[in-house]
Structure 1
Amino acid sequence: MRYQHKWQDIPAHKIPIENQKNLEATIRRSFECGINHIETARGYGTSEMQLGQVLPKFPREQLIIQTKVSPSKDPKEFRRKFHQSLAFLQLDYVDLLGIHGINNPETFDWAIRPGGCLDEARKFQDQGKVRFIGFSTHGPTDVITKTIETDQFDYVNLHWYYINQLNWPAIEAATRHDMGVFIISPSDKGGRLYDPPKKLVELCSPLSPIVFNDLFCLSHPEVHTLSLGASKPSDFDEHLKTIELYYRYDEILPPILERLEQEAISSLGKDWFTTWQIGLPNPEKTPNNINIPVILWLRNLAIAYDLVEYGKMRYNLLGNGGHWFPGQKADNLEQIDLSECLANSPNADKIPTFLAEADQMLGGGEVKRLSQS
């Protein structure tokens, strides 16, 4: 999604020549590196159409193509979008079709119910247009695990990396069900690691933050695939350094992990570091739908690792992320009583102050989801 020209469909003749040349060079570089798994989505604007001008130049049997289609209340809409994807990609079939965004009970129902989008995907599979079916999710761990436990999917695309390990129970569930595990955006949503703060660079030394995070993810055999998010050919170079270190992760990672943990404890205090997540309410159970867990998490990252710019990017998406990034900012706390929703937290007395601090540190403007920009 990082190399396409527009987040909206436009005619092919309006794609700038240089943008298309860069996309093709990026794909060719990936093949030179031994990377043949290309991931896109119907929701990624011109990505599929631009890839469709490149992919026919490669032997089809050497490609692993994944696209994703969002679930719809009307499965006919899901069907229409999938056929549009195939047409744009100029392919007879895709290797992997993901139901894109099973993020909450509603999208779960649209996908799983009899006659729903999963049944449509099965029809495509029977017709030879799809080899394997999975789902992609930005949802909470319980929704992800519930979807996995249906035992209807071959793989899952989810978020899990060093700074956010909440979805580990879902990965364990996927392992039990013999599913492939694909990590979404570990270098961007995993901390904007292509532009890391100096403090994080020092803490991850002698590795770069990108290589550390790649190695951390791949050191867990339950994880199979990382999305590199390449936007230009040179973006592969840093990631590829991970490969030569892979079989030494058990000696390389422990001192870095220890440094990162000790810095978080030193910066945040041991009591807060070990208890901050206990008893926090979901946005749906919080006045004004404030997303307390996410806001406190972003504050922790900003203080411990100087991930302020990352925190701003994520914090200012609150209120505009829909079910992809739910909840609201903490920008009107003086008018809100949080005591009832924080009754189960051992830090109830501190949290309102910390939320206000986070808003002051990270607030400053609305951010749109990329697909809205």
Structure 2
Amino acid sequence: MKISALGMGGHHLGEARDEDAAVEIIHRAVEGGITFFDCCWEYNRGKSEDWLGKGLKGLRDRTFLMTKVCTHGRDAALAMQMLEQSLRRLQTDHLDLWQVHGVGFANDPELFIRPNGAAEALARAKKDGKVRFVGFTGHKDPDVHLAMLNTGFPFDSVQMPLNPFDANFHSFERKVLPALNQKGIAPLGMKPIGGHGEPVQKGVFSAQELLRYAMSLPVATTISGVSEISILEQNLKVAQGFTPLSEGEMQALRTRAKPYAGDGHFELYKISLKFDNPEARMAHDFPIDMQQIEVKEMVAETENSGRPYPKV
């Protein structure tokens, strides 16, 4: 399958001003040449999938649609329930790609491949034609990614953070990316600008530099989140006029990132609760981060505010 070199991330879509703004972003993305759309069952408590489904109505045959399942070690039956919910929200009868969301704990591979684990759900969904391809994602630890590959399950894709900071710190680029290319598994890059753009806000890099770096790696696509049209236009400008950086230019960016990379300062998704979804934490019986966006939405759902989706 051919997909666009730039993909649109689904989490930030749920942070758009409102549903109409999200639909406008999706329409402009398709018009601009983006075919790969990322989402997840648990993003913004289902709002991201809901809005993406509405935005892709009438455009489904022009896109490669991916979402993620959030069993986080729980049973295959739960995964199949989540798949049906995702299909309903996304207003489609099949996914192009279905991925296990957010592996990060050392026992996640064992829980995935065990009898009645999520591996069985992925295989069943593919056999039944509800999904075309299957994979897994994560942003915590490249060694957990390698352990997932070592389960022997026939993954079609793997998603991971790729940026100049990663190249210097617990690196997916150095450990996982070569293994994927060797095995013929499609590498999907994410978090090219650090998740919420802190390196740009702090003046360490420009968004264009970071996006060009990630897109110059040997990946199938680079997924970047969009919550506003202006961000989308910025990304499209880079992608539509894209030429890969030379190895010298790539190394120069890695060198610039190195002084900031040693403590994971711009990759908090590797070393802290930030970016950890509460479903994963609760499934492993760990405390959750009360400042995390999905946790705030969970709490707000208990309030009788009358709003269909809580403002957080």
Q: Compute the displacement of 1:228 (Å).
A: 1.5
Structure with greater Cα Rg: 1
Match of 1:62 in 2: 62
Structure-2 change in CA distance of 1:48 and 1:177 (3 Å): same
Alignment equivalent of 2:236, drawn from 224, 240, 259: 240
Unaligned runs of 5+ in 2: 1-10, 297-312
Q: Compute the displacement of 1:177 (Å).
A: 1.4
CA displacement 1:329-359 (0-9 Å, x = unmatched): xxxxxxxxxxxxxxxxxxxxxxxxxxxxxxx
Match of 1:220 in 2: 217
Q: Compute the displacement of 1:22 (Å).
A: 0.3
State TM-score, norm by structure 2: 0.76
Structure-2 change in CA distance of 1:30 and 1:321 (3 Å): closer
State TM-score, norm by structure 1: 0.64
For residues 87 and 239 of structure 1, the distance between their equivalents in structure 2, rounded to whole angstroms, comes to: 29
For residues 193 and 231 of structure 2, the distance between their equivalents in structure 1, rounded to whole angstroms, comes to: 11
For residues 98 and 318 of structure 1, the distance between their equivalents in structure 2, rounded to whole angstroms, comes to: 21
Letter paired with 1:70: C
Asked if the contact 1:317–1:367 (Cα under 8 Å) also holds between the matched residues in 2, the reply is: no
Asked if the contact 2:215–2:244 (Cα under 8 Å) also holds between the matched residues in 1, the reply is: no
CA displacement 1:114-145 (0-9 Å, x = unmatched): 33211111111111110000001123111101
Structure-2 change in CA distance of 1:315 and 1:159 (3 Å): closer
Unaligned runs of 5+ in 1: 7-17, 202-208, 277-295, 302-309, 327-365
Asked if the contact 1:96–1:134 (Cα under 8 Å) also holds between the matched residues in 2, the reply is: yes
Match of 2:128 in 1: 127
For residues 56 and 319 of structure 1, the distance between their equivalents in structure 2, rounded to whole angstroms, comes to: 29
What is the RMSD computed on CA atoms of the aligned residues?
A: 3.2
SS of match in other structure, 2:100 = strand
SS of match in other structure, 2:291 = coil
Q: Compute the displacement of 1:91 (Å).
A: 0.6
Match of 1:261 in 2: 255
Q: Percent identity?
A: 21
Match of 2:87 in 1: 86
Considering fraction of residues, name the structure with more strand. 2
SS of match in other structure, 1:214 = helix
Structure-2 change in CA distance of 1:243 and 1:56 (3 Å): closer
CA displacement 1:267-295 (0-9 Å, x = unmatched): x9xxxx9xx7xxxxxxxxxxxxxxxxxxx
Asked if the contact 2:277–2:294 (Cα under 8 Å) also holds between the matched residues in 1, the reply is: no
Structure-2 change in CA distance of 1:197 and 1:102 (3 Å): closer
Match of 1:346 in 2: none
Q: Compute the displacement of 1:69 (Å).
A: 0.6
Q: Bigger shift: 255-264 or 101-110? A: 255-264
Which has the bigger relative contact order, CA under 8 A and spacing at least 6?
2
Q: Compute the displacement of 1:321 (Å).
A: 7.2
Match of 1:155 in 2: 157
SS of match in other structure, 1:187 = coil
Q: Compute the displacement of 1:260 (Å).
A: 6.6
Match of 2:301 in 1: none
SS of match in other structure, 2:14 = coil
Equivalent residue pairs, number:
272
Structure-2 change in CA distance of 1:76 and 1:190 (3 Å): same
Structure-2 change in CA distance of 1:320 and 1:190 (3 Å): closer
For residues 117 and 149 of structure 2, the distance between their equivalents in structure 1, rounded to whole angstroms, comes to: 17
